[in-house]
Structure 1
Amino acid sequence: MHAITNSGWIEVITGCMFSGKTEELLRRLRRAEIAGQEVAVFTPALDDRFGETTVGSHDGHHWEATVVESEGEGVWGLVDRLNGERVVAVDEANFFSTHLVDVCEHLAADGRRVVVSGTDQTFRGEPFEPVPQLVAVAEYVDKLQAICSVCGEPASRNQRLIDGEPAHADDPTILVGAEERYEARCRNCHAVRRN
């Protein structure tokens, strides 16, 4: 898929929730290991869905990861935790601050292959930084689609549901006592309630 060179590069795997981003990230890491390449995997401190130090996909695959702070200069801790690995993976890039862009650029300039996955849109359908910035500086970008949970068409949006209804655009991140869940939706079935 990618040329073997002596220079580094950035690969971004993006798309909506349930599109297989982490599954694709893990597939690339397995291939890197088969090729005898040492791999370092990082995940943000606030994502513990599959265990505190695990990157996992909805299909059950997982990989041990190092947890790094996702805010501010703490993202640079990722560089400090490397031990010579030439392949560096970052899952859930959308939970990191924009400092992740500089970190990835630094790693690629150091001759490393940097593989990043994360959703590129918020539930409102707006850019979810820093992923769009990473897309702009990456050598390789793959945007995956899921299946719309309403009509079955290709989905590219994250539908946030609060108590089974589309979320309001101005809803806070966490609503106390409310049931929150997400679905993949196509452009036509995606809804955001506005006041």
Structure 2
Amino acid sequence: MLFNEDVFKRRNEYGGSIEVICGSMFSGKTEELIRRLKRGQIARLSVEIFKPKTDTRYDETAIVSHNATSIPSTPVENASTILLLGSMAQIVGIDEAQFFDDELPEVCNKLANKGIRVIVAGLDMDYTGKPFGPMPAIMAMAESVTKVHAVCVICGQPALYSYRIIENDTKILLGEKESYEPRCRRCFLLGKKVNPDT
């Protein structure tokens, strides 16, 4: 979309914001991010979308949800590139935020302070159940946080954990259903007792 100076002034007049969509794997985070970004495009707003360059699971450039909904994006190596490429947009979308460096919260803050609506999606916890990457800091400064849940594959309750089902203790391990499954708190803890090495 061509840059519109009047729209840019209106954007700054109303101020920006940070929205976070978080939860476990298979909870619909990316699908919700795509939904919000597409609504921005329908409204004819200038939208820039970013994802980590390392995330090539479904597509080299597009953001793709588990149910194959997709939207074009720009893969970037670090958070500072988002500030450089997204500073003239009205909406900036960021997927898989947990994989970015520790500069991401400040980048989101600077964009929001410029009057940009920043929408961030990512895992709030890693496979051990601990806060993941820059997500906690972004959630703390966000105007709104939406926590979405998957379904526990063991008992059917709402799942908030991404349980790793293969033996690998690397903190960052890209994978899908062959590597992870969503679990509720009880089934996550029971699994850890049965398989303490995972």
With the length of structure 2 as denominator, give the TM-score of the two structures: 0.85
Give secondary structure in 1 for the equivalent of 2:137.
Answer: helix
Cα displacement (A) at 1:40:
0.3
Aligned equivalent of 2:103: 99
The structure 1 residue matched to 2:165, chosen from 161, 167, 173, is 161
1:51-62 equivalences in 2 (<5 Å): 51-62=59-70
Verify: 1:21 aligned to 2:23, yes or no.
no
What amino acid sits opposite 1:59 in the alignment?
Answer: N
Q: Does residue 1:182 correspond to 2:180, yes or no?
A: yes
Q: Using a 3 Å threshold, how does the CA distance of structure 1 residues 174 and 12 change in structure 2: closer, same or farther? A: closer
Among 33, 38, 50, the residue aligned to 1:42 = 50
Trace 1:113-132 onto structure 2 (pairs within 5 A): 113-132=117-136
Tell me, yes or no, if the aligned pair for 1:160 and 1:180 is still in contact at 8 Å.
no
Structure 2 counterparts to residues 62-101 of structure 1, below 5 A? 62-69=70-77, 74-82=78-86, 84-101=88-105
Alpha-carbon distance in structure 2 between the residues aligned to 1:145 and 1:118: 12
Q: Which 5+ residue runs of structure 1 have no aligned equivalent?
A: none
The Cα of 1:49 is off from its aligned counterpart by: 0.9
Over 3 Å counting, the alpha-carbon distance change for 1:174 and 1:117 in structure 2 is closer
Q: Percent identity?
A: 44
- Alpha-carbon shift at residue 124 of structure 1 (Å): 0.5
> SS of 2:136's equivalent?
helix
Aligned length: 179
In structure 2, what residue type is equivalent to 1:63? Answer: I
Q: Hey, what's the Cα distance between the residues in 2 that align with 1:154 and 1:174?
A: 24
- Indicate yes or no: 2:114 matched with 1:110: yes
Q: What's the CA shift for 1:83?
A: 6.7
Contact 2:126 2:171 in 1 (8 A): no
Distance 1:119 1:19 in 2: 10
In structure 2, the CA distance between the partners of 1:173 and 1:120, relative to structure 1 (3 Å rule), is: closer
Amino acid at match of 2:120: V
Q: CA deviation at 1:182?
A: 0.3
The CA RMSD over aligned residues, in Å, is 2.0
Q: Provide Cα deviations, 1:51-77, integer angstroms capped at 9, x if missing partner.
A: 1111010111111111111xxxx3211
Counterpart secondary structure, 1:26: helix
Bigger fraction of residues in helix: 2
Give the structure-1-normalised TM-score.
0.86
Residues 63, 73 of structure 2: 8 Å contact kept: yes
- 2:19 paired with 1:11: yes
Q: 1:8 to 1:79 in 2, by over 3 A?
A: same
Q: Distance in 2 between matches of 1:188 and 1:87?
A: 38
CA distance in structure 2 between the partners assigned to 1:130 and 1:172 by the alignment: 18
Name the SS of the counterpart of 1:12 in structure 2: strand
Offset, 1:47: 0.5
